[in-house]
Amino acid sequence: MQSILRHLVLLVVTVSLWFVAAGGAARAENGFYELPMPIRLDTQFKRGDDAIISLAEMVGKPVILHFWATWCGPCVPEMKELDQFAEFYGEAVHVIAVSQDFRGLQAVEPFFERFNINHLKAYADIKGRMGRQFSVSALPQTFFINEHGLVVGGVTGPLDWQDENVKKSLEKHLSIGKKPA
């Protein structure tokens, strides 16, 4: 068993190094990586009021596209911080937290109520189409999309959304400003 695990770890490390060496993902400050990744803006997902939304509707403003689930341990505390982040930046950026729960909004809405998530809207990707398009391999995973609809970076794993360095980096990469007072 240990031999299989050792070989699996070696394989993952080798593939990761090859990916980076081939120009796949370049790490930047705060664990962000840059993605030379085209995206389809017509990808649709469902909002809490049953409206069908696409990323094309978001062009013109930066987007933070966050994949998460109610059953994901690291996602739970991060969602409250992301909610505070969304409140802080207000209308300057679209913060889209898309649940990967199979129960969709039936799982998300009670979660939002339980944890007092008030500044994020409930979105669901029930069939996982959007997650597959973005090659989501772990949760949470976040993509940063500029106002022109281009993915300029991302991060896999939880992020400290209240950290000043994180905020400064996002302001720089996404050209977002603070919410007007």
Give the CATH class of 24-174: alpha beta
- Residue with more model confidence, 175 or 39: 175
The answer for residues whose C-beta is within 8 angstroms of residue 58's C-beta and 6 or more apart is: 94, 96, 145, 149
pLDDT digits (tens, 9 = 90+) for 121-172: 999 887 888 888 888 999 999 999 888 888 888 899 999 999 999 898 888 8
User: d(Cα 168, Cα 166) in Å, to the nearest integer?
Assistant: 5
pLDDT of residue 22: 34
Closest to 111 in 3D by CA, of 138, 62, 71 = 71
Q: Is the pLDDT of residue 20 over 60?
A: no
Q: Is the pLDDT of residue 42 over 50?
A: yes
The answer for residues whose C-beta is within 8 angstroms of residue 119's C-beta and 6 or more apart is: 83, 84, 86, 87, 95
What are the structural domain ranges in the chain? 24-174
**CB atoms inside a 10 Å sphere around CB 43:** 16
- Which single residue is written with the structure tokens 């998460």? 68
